[in-house]
Structures are given as C-alpha cells and as structure tokens.
Structure 1
Amino acid sequence: MRAVRLSVVTAAATAAALTAVTGCTEKSDAKGDAHGAVSVVAKDDSCEVSKKEFPAGHLELAVENKGSKVTEVYILFPDDRIVTERENIGPGTKAKITAEVKAGDYEIACKPGMKGDGIRQKVKVTGGTTAKRSPEMDAAVAAYRQYVQTQADETLPKVKVFTDAVRAGNIEAAKKAYADSRIGWERTEPVAESFGDIDPKVDVREDGLEAGQDPAKDWTGWHRLEKALWQDKKIGDREKQLADTLDKDLADWVKRVGKAEITPTSMANGAKELLDEVASGKVTGEEERYSHTDLVDFKANVEGAQKSFELLKPVASKNDPKLVAELDKQFAALNTLLDKYRADKTTYVFTPYDQVGKEQQKELSDGVNALGEPLSKLAAAVVK
C-alpha cells in the first residue's frame, strides 16, 4: 500500500494553489538542467517548475528540496492518477525522476511534509509522438503485464478462501488464509497506482484514510478485516459485508490489468517506490500491525520489484552493465537475508514480525536501503 496518496481536490482549491505558486515564478529557483531535464524546486510553500510545456517522450525531472520538510513529487494525470512519483526526498537533497509521457495535460505536484493534496503546477506535453521503444522494451512491458494478470487471476481464489472464512464467522480459518490472500497483490504493487482507485479500496491502513473519511464507514479492504480478526477478535455483519466488498473490488482489479498504463519507466520507478514503501512500512512493522505478517508482504514486494528488474535487464545491461551487476548483487543479498526468517523456500511461512528483534530489523532496513539506492537509477538506465 502506498503510505501517502494524493486525493482529488476541487477545481477552486487547485486554482488557488496554482495562483499562489505562479505569483512566485519570477523569483523561481527552477532554472532548468544542463542535460535538458525539467527542474523542480520544492519548498515548504511552493513547487517551482522550470518549464510548463515540453515534448512527448521521456521526461526527466531534476528535483531539489529546498524546504525544511521531507517532500514527495508527483506527475499526475488530470484525473489524479499517478504517472510516477518519488517519495521521501529529504531537505537539502536532490532526486532524478524519469517518466514516459504522451501528449496531454498533466500536473506536477510537490507535497511538503508528505501530507495533503500538494502544491501543483499545470504543465502541457505536446506533440503526437511518444517515447521510442526498442523491441526489448515492448517485450518487457508485454511480459510484465502478463505477469501482473497472472498474479491477479491467481489472487481471486485465494481471497475467496479468506472471505468465505470471514462470512462463515470462522476467525481462525480467516487468520490462516489472510497472508496468503495478499501475496499476488503485493507482487504487483510496482504498478498499483495504474489501477486507479483499487489500491485505497483494498489496501489502505486506517491512518492512510483521507481527511474527513470515517473509519467506521469508509475504511474497507484487507487491513480493516485484519484489525477485526486480530485486535477486535470478532466478526460481525459489517465484517461480512466488507468481505463481499473485497471480493468485488479485487474482481474489478483483475479486469483493469489489461487497460492499465504500464511503461518501461513506470515498471522501473514502481519497483523503486515499492522499496521505499517497504522501508517506511514493512520494516517498521506498520503495514501488518495486527497480524504481524509483514515479512510475507516484504518477500512478495521484493519478488515483484525483482520481476520488473529482470524483464528490463536486457535493455539496462546494454546501457549500464555496472548498475545491473550491482542490482543483481543487492537483490540476491536481500533475498538471502529474508530467507533467514522463512520456514523453507517452498512456502510463505515467515517468522511473525513481532518476534524479529530491533537489531534484525535494522539489518533488514540496511538491506532495503542498499538495494533502493541503485534501483533508483534503473529508469534512467532503461531510457539512455
């Protein structure tokens, strides 16, 4: 689950935010990049973009956080779907974001403090052409879409085992089926944002609800049922209704895979973003705070990110063989580390996360960070 999401804002609020930012553009620090990247300077009260119009194809954002808060930067479709994002950009640090964009209207948003709807700038992508893709790139996208479709198709019967147990009021059977029902979803999270509103429907935590949402009415999905099973220790009529809703939402997800916007850069960026989420949610134990099945999610996330990398490897190997070698090394190291907590390599039975000590959690965190740094360079290597 993406820890923080952008919500749809009213046109008036967006216009007001854009007017406030536009008023500062004469003093903008965003001066463009020597290599043709669009510069984005994020501050606590502004999001300064060096260009408001650029050609279709591969877009690179050179982001610098000059504010005092950790920030996020997004490229958004007009309906708030996410083209790509980069989270956890600390004060005084820089980041490069590479994306593939078609002609049309978009917004670039900075989110100081990683809260709220962000400060947005409207931008336009012109030209009828899209980014040039090699046959290897097309093959990678097609293979990844098939991988995602397979994971989605295989998830539905596993979820039905879980939701049938909930509907039957069988707490122990539901607990037993819970983690297994989530593996396919967790493997496909590198492109979760391409499925529209499915992610917040099925995988949001209570603290991830939008302002004004009522947990009693608006919180749906796996984690709401997780809380009922492990903390509340009861299944009532509401939980049985939520089981039906989860089945319905995931069936919708399966149908959306074929229409999802998937590109080589979204595969690469999504893998990096997912590692960031692992670092901020799984390693800390926040994701599965009631069931403590975090390591199951963790392993599935790494598998999904690695699948994206493996499919992009033929392209990246030509452009940056040293990066590919480093990624091979770090994926292997993290998988070896995770397997220390696994009953055996043929099952998804992992040590409950509340039984993993602080030193071991630190070791896992270091492993994620060691992989995340080179993985942040994969998108750029793919489009060189």
Structure 2
Amino acid sequence: MRPARLTVVAAASLVAALTAVTGCAEKSGAGGDGAIKVAASDTACDVSKTEFPAGKVQIDVENKGSKVTELYVLFPDDRIVTERENIGPGTKASLTAEIKAGDYEVVCKPGMKGDGIRTNVKVTGQASGEKRSPEADAAVAAYRQYVVAQAEETLPRAQAFADAVKAGDVEAAKKAYAASRIGWERTEPVAESFGDIDPKVDVREDGLEAGQDPAKDWTGWHRLEKSLWADNTIGDAEKKLADTLIADLTEWQKKVGQAEITPTSMANGAKELLDEVATGKVTGEEERYSHTDLVDFKANVEGAEKAYELLKPIASKNDPALAQQLDTRFAALNTLLDKYRADKAGYDFTSYDKVGEPERKELSDGVNALAEPLSKLAASVAK
C-alpha cells in the first residue's frame, strides 16, 4: 500500500460514477481545447473550471511546484472518482474520465500526503452511455469471480497467521505472514475501494495520517510485521490486533463481490498494481522488517496480468501491437522474478535484503518497461 492511496474502483452503492482512462505524466502534456486545466504547486491547486457538463472530461495537470504531487477527483465523502499519481515537479499529465452529474472535489496533494488542497466543482446534465460489448461483459464477470476467489482464499491463510500470533509462536507467525497477503496484493485496487479497510489492514507506519498515534491507531499486517521481525516478540496487544485483522479482512471479503468493476477500471487497476511495485516493493519499503517484498511483487504482477489476460480479446482487436508488447513485457518480468524463487510453482522467494542494488535496478527496469505499455491498456479497451 502507498500512503493515503485512493482507487478508481468505487463501491456498487456509488452506482458506477465513471469510466476512467488515465494518461502518463510527461514533459509536454496533451492539450485539448475543452480540457479543464489544473495548475498545481506546493501551496495551490488552481482549477480553470468549477462547473462543466457531464460526460467525457479531460483534465490537464501541470505541476509547477517543487514536490511530487497527485491529482484526485473525489465524491463529497472522499471516495474516488479518478486520480493521477506521481506527477513530478515540472511535468504535466492528462487524464480522461466519464463523469456523471453531481458535486465533486478536485484535490491536489503536494508531497502526496495529507488531505490536499481542494476545490469544489459541479458537473451538470446527463452523459449518454454506451452499451458494453459481450467481450467486455465477459471480462468483467470473470474478473469479479477472480477477486471474490482471492478474498475467499485469503481468509484461511490470514487465520493461520492470526492463530500463530495468538498462540505466541513467533516463528510460525513469520512463516505464515507472506502467504496471508497474496490474495490481497493480487487485487489491491479493488480491496482499497471500501473506505477505511485498506488503512486498517495494510498501512505502514509512515502512512499514518497526521495526528494518528502509532501505539493506538496503527493496525493490520505491517504493525504485526514490526512486532515479529523488529521486536521478535508477541504480547497481548499483538494478539488483539490479530483478531482485529481477521475482522477487517472478513468485512472486505463480504463486500468485495459488490465492487463496481468496468473494463477500464480493470485496466487502470492493473497499472496501479505496477505502480505499487515501483513505489513500494522494488524500493524495499513495503516489507521493511520481514523483507518478503518479492512475494508481494509477484502477487501484484499476477493480479495485473490476470486483468490484462481477461481484457486481451478486446485489446488484441483494438490495438494488436499493444497486446503483443504486453505479452512480451509480462513474460520478461516473470522470467526476471523467477531468478529469485526457489520453486517456480511456489512463493519461496529470496529475502529482499539479500538482493543487491544492481539486481534491484534490473527489477525496476523490468517494471518500468511493462508499466509504459500497460498505461495504454485502458485507452485501448475504451475504443
């Protein structure tokens, strides 16, 4: 999980507010005469239009500040409509979304932390919808089955981890830890769509919001990870946290089948999983105590590849060159990851603290090589 991360997949109760297609940050962003311009800086988030018609909306962002920023369009209760992360100083980004009528907020997050700088906007009228193709319906149905299955498989693995913690068995808990996270990591963009479940179960200590006390407010896997590896101990507090983890994951499992899923949210979610790898796993930040980053890395890649494989019939038809490139890049990254696993059918990976800087750069280069064409998948399936 990245700190304060939001997702393009909304809960079913939000009634499918959009279909988003996100572009890549670049030195010279796309223009568009009717685009909404956002000038972001370290202290401002200036939006050129605060009222605009529903339908296909293009937002062009320029980061004029000194810090990396993020842009969000949010519902009034902070649930996500669309987003663009990691917009570097001096760069531009462009994103396109289908947005229904309603009230929203445009938010810039300099430094990618906190509540951000917010501007209220109003979307008026009613957008015309298009009927999905049979291939798109099949992809969505199959992906929904996949995320439900991942949640169902996660619970017994997480229960085994929690049972070891509650028994005070540090070594057994360490052995069960990484496996308990695989299903979550494969489907993280969907998992993060349900309000505060994600920060309850997957936040790192440096991802806590300002004013939160780690001793009181930090829960979930990474809190227990620190106790197991950094402190090498299990106390009464950790045993209670194990029960809390299971309760929160059970809530996730009950909700996940209700997630609003579209072909473009699947595609954007696949790209988000690669972003997770680039910003957390390759750097070693995600599993900083256990060093099980490569297990998460592999799970993220598997989740992204699953979404792509389900969308491939559409992508192959609309952009065969892109599909061929994605096939090649996924295969190359999987081959690279296989160098660090003892069993190619399992999840016994090299401890990440044993992976040197040259090898980490090689992994990073493999992720970046895949992320670039993967960022075009949403646009391909939206044609």
The TM-score normalised by the length of structure 2 is: 0.89
Secondary structure of the structure 2 residue equivalent to 1:194: coil
Is structure 2 residue 379 aligned with structure 1 residue 380?
A: yes
Equivalent residue for 1:164? 163
Unaligned ranges ≥5, structure 1:
7-31
Equivalent residue for 2:367? 368
Alignment equivalent of 1:98, drawn from 96, 117, 121: 96
Secondary structure of the structure 1 residue equivalent to 2:192: helix
Equivalent residue for 2:112? 114
Task: Give the Cα–Cα distance (whole angstroms) in 1 for the partners of residues 95 and 269 of structure 2.
Answer: 11
Counting only pairs closer than 5 Å after superposition, residues 120-269 of structure 1 correspond to structure 2 as 120-129=118-127, 131-135=129-133, 136-269=135-268
Task: Check whether the contact 1:82–1:193 (CA below 8 A) recurs between aligned residues.
Answer: no
Residue identity in the other structure for 2:4: V
Deviates more, 1:301-310 or 1:93-102: 93-102
Alpha-carbon deviations, 1:211-233, whole Å to 9, x = none? 00010110000000011111111
- Relative contact order: is structure 1 or structure 2 higher (C-alpha 8 Å, sep ≥ 6)? 2
Deviates more, 1:69-78 or 1:240-249: 69-78
Cα distance, 1:55 vs structure 2: 4.0
Task: Give the Cα–Cα distance (whole angstroms) in 2 for the partners of residues 324 and 127 of structure 1.
Answer: 36
Residue identity in the other structure for 2:198: D
Task: Give the Cα–Cα distance (whole angstroms) in 1 for the partners of residues 75 and 81 of structure 2.
Answer: 7
Equivalent residue for 2:39? 41
Query: Aligned pair in 2 of structure 1 residues 58, 157: CA closer, same or farther (>3 Å)?
Result: farther
Unaligned ranges ≥5, structure 2:
7-29
Equivalent residue for 2:341? 342
Residue identity in the other structure for 1:101: I
Is structure 2 residue 59 aligned with structure 1 residue 61?
A: yes
Task: Check whether the contact 2:40–2:62 (CA below 8 A) recurs between aligned residues.
Answer: yes
Task: Give the Cα–Cα distance (whole angstroms) in 2 for the partners of residues 103 and 263 of structure 1.
Answer: 19
Cα distance, 1:90 vs structure 2: 0.9
Task: Give the Cα–Cα distance (whole angstroms) in 1 for the partners of residues 241 and 284 of structure 2.
Answer: 24
Equivalent residue for 2:68? 70
Cα distance, 1:128 vs structure 2: 4.1
Alpha-carbon deviations, 1:147-179, whole Å to 9, x = none? 111100110011111001111111111111000
Secondary structure of the structure 2 residue equivalent to 1:195: coil
Deviates more, 1:48-57 or 1:60-69: 48-57
Task: Give the Cα–Cα distance (whole angstroms) in 2 for the partners of residues 322 and 196 of structure 1.
Answer: 38
Is structure 2 residue 282 aligned with structure 1 residue 320?
A: no
Task: Give the Cα–Cα distance (whole angstroms) in 2 for the partners of residues 143 and 276 of structure 1.
Answer: 23
Alpha-carbon deviations, 1:19-73, whole Å to 9, x = none? xxxxxxxxxxxxx942644333322222233333344444432222222221111
Cα distance, 1:115 vs structure 2: 2.1
Cα distance, 1:292 vs structure 2: 0.5
Equivalent residue for 2:278? 279
Task: Check whether the contact 1:191–1:266 (CA below 8 A) recurs between aligned residues.
Answer: no
Secondary structure of the structure 1 residue equivalent to 2:203: coil
Task: Check whether the contact 1:101–1:131 (CA below 8 A) recurs between aligned residues.
Answer: no
The TM-score normalised by the length of structure 1 is: 0.88
The CA RMSD over aligned residues, in Å, is 1.9
Q: How many residues align?
A: 359
Deviates more, 1:243-252 or 1:265-274: 265-274
Task: Check whether the contact 1:63–1:96 (CA below 8 A) recurs between aligned residues.
Answer: yes
Query: Aligned pair in 2 of structure 1 residues 381, 340: CA closer, same or farther (>3 Å)?
Result: same
Task: Give the Cα–Cα distance (whole angstroms) in 1 for the partners of residues 269 and 34 of structure 2.
Answer: 23
Query: Aligned pair in 2 of structure 1 residues 206, 321: CA closer, same or farther (>3 Å)?
Result: same
Secondary structure of the structure 1 residue equivalent to 2:97: strand
Task: Check whether the contact 2:3–2:208 (CA below 8 A) recurs between aligned residues.
Answer: no
Query: Aligned pair in 2 of structure 1 residues 42, 377: CA closer, same or farther (>3 Å)?
Result: farther
Task: Give the Cα–Cα distance (whole angstroms) in 1 for the partners of residues 166 and 273 of structure 2.
Answer: 32
Task: Give the Cα–Cα distance (whole angstroms) in 2 for the partners of residues 49 and 150 of structure 1.
Answer: 41
Alpha-carbon deviations, 1:335-361, whole Å to 9, x = none? 111111011221111000011111000
Task: Give the Cα–Cα distance (whole angstroms) in 1 for the partners of residues 310 and 90 of structure 2.
Answer: 34
Query: Aligned pair in 2 of structure 1 residues 291, 307: CA closer, same or farther (>3 Å)?
Result: same
Deviates more, 1:40-49 or 1:201-210: 40-49
Secondary structure of the structure 1 residue equivalent to 2:66: coil
Equivalent residue for 1:24? none
Cα distance, 1:201 vs structure 2: 0.4
Task: Check whether the contact 1:269–1:376 (CA below 8 A) recurs between aligned residues.
Answer: yes
Residue identity in the other structure for 1:2: R
